[in-house]
Amino acid sequence: MNTKFSLNLLHVFIILVIMIDSKISLKMTALSLWHRFHLKKIIRWMGCVSVSFLLICLIIDQSISFYVRDSIFEDVDKLPYHPYGVVLGTSKYVATGKTNDYYTNRLTAAKMLIDHQKVSYLLLSGDNRTSQYNEPRTMLRDLRKMDIPRDRLFQDFAGFRTLDSVVRANKVFQVPSYTIISQKFHCERALFIAKHYDIDAICFTAKQPDTYLGTRIRETFARVKAIFDLIIGIQPYFLGDPEPLPLPDNE
């Protein structure tokens, strides 16, 4: 009797373990399916948000290009005269120590406008973050080596961003109309900012370097940020008292 009773208890125990294990397995399976379902929904939602954001970025990017298209000039002979050319600064060297083609081509374009009498003066606007890194001073030094007279060159040491360079040329240096000098993609954003502030500006495009894709992708997001900055009313870092620059006698 004791042996039979023990065996029966053992059978009951085994059955109970199997039943509990089955319930746990079913519960785990249900939880796993539940989490997988929600994970898929989250992934799908994140994918939709990402695609929507990229689509908005592309729409903004192309809209800005379309909006300023009539103010972009690539042929120097068709470029109207403006008293000042505003050269937007960039680093002279890239990370590898090689000369930055964006920088070199902007200075070449600036000299072309002086030589063709499309501008009378150049305002060199760039970052002056440290004594070792000074974009306006570097541009001035190199343009002097290109035989542009010193009295044709002026410097804006607070052109930390494109917005700063565009607004300060008009508000601080009192330049009523000017020609922006940079690569086309950069010109478009600068002109969009100028139009927002009712500044009379056009752009002459410097040659675009071959290494372009990564820069152009960054520009797309820079345009989104520019829109955001204009909406919330971001101002130049430094916008002090006016410092009027001389204008040609016929102005």
Q: Which of 2-11, 19-28, 173-182 is predicted most confidently?
A: 173-182
CA angle 102-108-112, nearest 5°?
Answer: 140
CA-nearest of 126, 140, 142, 143 to 91 is 126
How much is the pLDDT for 29? 57
pTM (2 d.p.): 0.80
- Please state which of the four CATH numbers 3.40.50.170, 2.40.160.20, 1.10.3720.10, 3.40.50.620 is assigned to the domain occupying 68-232: 3.40.50.620
- Name 82's Cβ contacts closer than 8 Å, sequence gap at least 6: 118, 119, 177, 178, 179, 202
How much is the pLDDT for 26? 53
CA-nearest of 27, 208, 200, 235 to 109 is 208
How much is the pLDDT for 180? 98
CA angle 124-129-131, nearest 5°?
Answer: 90
| Domain ranges (residues) in the chain | 1-52, 68-232
Residue 236 and residue 174: Cα distance in Å, rounded? Answer: 15
Amino acid occupying residue 87: V
